[in-house]
Amino acid sequence: MKWIALTSVEELEQLANSGTYAIIFKHSTRCPVSNMAKKTFEFESTLIPEGTPVYFLDLIKYREVSNKIAEKWQVKHESPQILLIKGDECLYHESHNAIEAAKVVIHLPN
């Protein structure tokens, strides 16, 4: 799986302004549930269409980015958490053990 590190609010704003579909995985490096969700998502990553950017946010290191995500897309912060966004719209989000690549991809265009 090719993760794209998300490390700043500026990068987040650029992503939102791009208007493209993107997946954001919010991960807590201190949480065993988050580690398991990440491994499961990576295992299922072949379901994600090629060319779909998948961003990885270490929310312990970059908490301000996580806070901005909650504010911008009006999604309550949870960890771990997955979001599918397109511009300023959050098309899908899920957290904890409910994170599955198959659930994310059904919200992408064919």
90 in helix, strand or coil? strand
Fold of 4-105: Glutaredoxin (3.40.30)
* pLDDT score, position 109: 85
- The span from the CA of 97 to the CA of 108, in Å, is 21
Q: Tell which residue, 96, 11, 102, has the closest CA to residue 56.
A: 11
- The span from the CA of 94 to the CA of 78, in Å, is 9
Q: Are 99 and 23 in contact (CB under 8 A)?
A: no
pLDDT in tens, the chain (110 residues): 899 999 999 999 999 999 999 999 999 999 999 999 999 999 999 999 999 999 999 999 999 999 999 999 999 999 999 999 999 999 999 999 999 999 999 999 87
